[in-house]
Structure formats: structure tokens, C-alpha cells
Amino acid sequence: MNTYSRIPTRLAAFALMISALVADAFAQSAFEGTQGAVERSALPIYGGQAEGFVVASNGNLYAGLGSPSGIFCSTDGGTSWSGPPVGSDFGSIAAVAEGETPNTVYMIAGIDAYKSTDACASWSQLEASDGNNDFSRAIAYGHDRLLIGRRDGLIDVSSNNGTSFTATTLSGAITEVLDIAVSPSDDVFFALGSNNATALLFKSIDAGATWADTGVSGNYRLVGVNPENPGVVVLAGMDLVAISTDGGTTFNDVTPMGHRRNEITFVDIPNAADRIYVGSNWTSDNGTTWTDINDGATTDSELNAFLQQDPTT
């Protein structure tokens, strides 16, 4: 799952905690307070390992934690959070994605998919194309389509915001869909699928109806596309980053030293080159050089996953 949204000045970073991070300052040595030009503050949310984090275009925060029914949402910038409705039994949250409106959010919980249209106040379960829910953590919304990967190698595609789905196939050799990314090019998506030995990259130019093998493979887990430049495609895995500048045709291994986490974020920096974040590392030159925002931070104060721009500041 890759996540992105444009803003001018601030990042929200989410790992086991959420913090506010000024985008043009990097030295950190303590989690709370101001270190140099970096302002950090903890937001009151607890519940387990982070598996997904979305900052919607209106500033809503949607956090998925890898614990039973671990979906938490905020409509006030993280000052307060709402948990799942009383009596919910969602299973462990695997992924979250913003939908067709800022108050619409989709999530994968266990092997099921759910949708909320009221910023998490209520949820409805979605049904797979064949009625047998077995969704993976791969989910993306774009081009008026909702795409959800499955553990049997198929991708379910909805053109009516999750009311119904049609199954599409990456390849007969694919046994699980690992990740899906939206390109800014009309009707273009990318998907990573596993054949039990390696991950293969596929591309669709018809909103997910059909897929073509790009010939790119490796031990990747995530794919992302720059929302402002469809030529820039990023693949990431544990200790592995590759970047394409030709729309996914060829990739260069640009893995930074000390790279661990692999969540991909694209950040719009005013009056400067935009950045690609992979975990805590960022580059503004497509991987030629990298900076780690955790340089100088202690182990227990590192920010290492799900950096997202705050669109309201």
C-alpha cells in the first residue's frame, strides 16, 4: 500500500505513535518537544503495531493497528480519537485507504473488507466478487475504481464504490496480491503479485480490467507512483528500494544504507524539490542521495513508518 496527499508544510508520521514533524527539519534526538527546528508531539492513541495510516484531504486521520478491531479515526487532527463502534468484531487491521470522499475510508480487517462513509462512525462489510472473502492487505482507490487484492492471486475491482466487484487476474502463476498503487495517468494502476518465490510487477491501463507483466521482479512488498509524475515508480522491500523514472519500464537499485522500513510516501515541498520517503529515509533526486530523519535520534524515539503530509497546515 502506498499513500500520499499534497500539502505545503507539515508531515504526520505514524509508527507505533503519531507525531507532527516539520517537513524542512530533520535532526531528532528525543520524541517529544523541539529539537533544532523539528517539533514533535505525541497523539493519544494506543493499540498495537501500525499497519496503515491515512491523512485524508480534509485532515481526517485514519489509523489501522494490527490488533482486533484496531481502527481509530480523528476529525480534529489527532486531539481526540474514536474507536470502532461498540460490538465490532473486525479482526486485526491490515490496511486502510481513503475513498471517494474525505469522510470515506476503506479497510482490510482479517480477510474481510469494510467501508465507512461517515469518518468511522459506522461500517459496512464488502463482499468479494465470488462471495468468498479472502482479501490480502493490497487496497487502492483511484480513477473511480476500488481495487482490492486477494490471497488467491486475483484482484477484485469495483466501479460502484464497493457495492459489487468483478474479479481480474494478474497471471495464473500469481498466488497472492501484495500491493496496488494508483498512477496519476488516466486509468493506470500498478500491482505486485507473488508467485511464492518472488514478486512480479504488473501494470493496467484500463482501470484494472486487464493486466500486463512488466518483466520486473524482486523481493519487493510495496509499490508506489508519484502522484505528480507518472514516470516515477518506486518498489520497496525489506532492505531494498528500486526507483524507475520511465514509468516502470526499468528500475535502478537505490537502497539507502541502513534502510529497514519500506512504506512509500511522496511529499510536495514548496519552493524545493519534491521528496520520496521510504520508511524514515528520503530522497529528492530519485535515489542518488538519501537523508535519514532519524539521524541523531535514540532507538526509542525513532520515526520509522507511515510518514504522511498534513493537508490542512
Spatial distance between the Cα atoms of 187 and 286, rounded to a whole number of angstroms: 24
The pLDDT-based confidence of 257 (bands split at 50, 70, 90) is confident
pLDDT tens for residues 197-209? 999 999 999 999 9
DSSP for 40-58 reads: E---S--SSSEEEEEE-TT
Give me the mean pLDDT over the 105-130 stretch. 97
Q: Copy the grid coordinates of residue 280.
A: 524514515
Q: Any idea which of 19-23, 65-69, 147-151, 245-249 has the lowest mean pLDDT?
A: 19-23
pLDDT of residue 214: 98
**Contact yes or no for 243/217 (Cβ under 8 A):** no
The pLDDT-based confidence of 40 (bands split at 50, 70, 90) is low
Question: Closest Cα partner for 146 from 131, 157, 136?
Answer: 157
pLDDT at residue 79 is higher than 90: no
Q: Copy the grid coordinates of residue 85.
A: 463502534
Sheet holding 222-225, edge to edge: 222-225, 233-237, 240-244, 252-253
Give me the mean pLDDT over the 54-78 stretch. 89
Q: Any idea which of 71-75, 167-171, 223-227, 291-295 has the lowest mean pLDDT?
A: 291-295
Spatial distance between the Cα atoms of 291 and 38, rounded to a whole number of angstroms: 15
Spatial distance between the Cα atoms of 259 and 242, rounded to a whole number of angstroms: 12
pLDDT at residue 173 is higher than 70: yes
Give me the mean pLDDT over the 128-138 stretch. 97
What phi and psi, each to the nearest 5 degrees, are found at residue 300?
-85, 0
pLDDT of residue 78: 84
The answer for 131, left when phi > 0, alpha when psi is -120 to 50, beta otherwise, is: left
Q: Any idea which of 14-23, 91-100, 264-273 has the lowest mean pLDDT?
A: 14-23
pLDDT of residue 260: 67
pLDDT at residue 30 is higher than 60: no
pLDDT of residue 66: 81
CATH code at 3-309:
2.130.10.10
pLDDT of residue 111: 95
Spatial distance between the Cα atoms of 3 and 258, rounded to a whole number of angstroms: 22
Name the DSSP class of 312: T
pLDDT at residue 2 is higher than 90: no
pLDDT at residue 261 is higher than 90: no
- 245 vs 28, higher pLDDT: 245
The pLDDT-based confidence of 13 (bands split at 50, 70, 90) is very low
Q: Domain boundaries in the chain? A: 3-309
pLDDT tens for residues 233-244? 999 998 899 999
pLDDT tens for residues 14-24? 433 333 333 33
pLDDT of residue 108: 97
- 111 vs 7, higher pLDDT: 111
- 70 vs 140, higher pLDDT: 140
**Contact yes or no for 74/82 (Cβ under 8 A):** yes
Q: ∠ at Cα 77 (75, 78), nearest 5°?
A: 90
pLDDT at residue 35 is higher than 50: no
Looking at the DSSP assignment, which residues form a beta bridge with residue 275?
267
pLDDT of residue 269: 80
pLDDT of residue 28: 33
Q: Any idea which of 23-27, 213-217, 244-248 has the lowest mean pLDDT?
A: 23-27
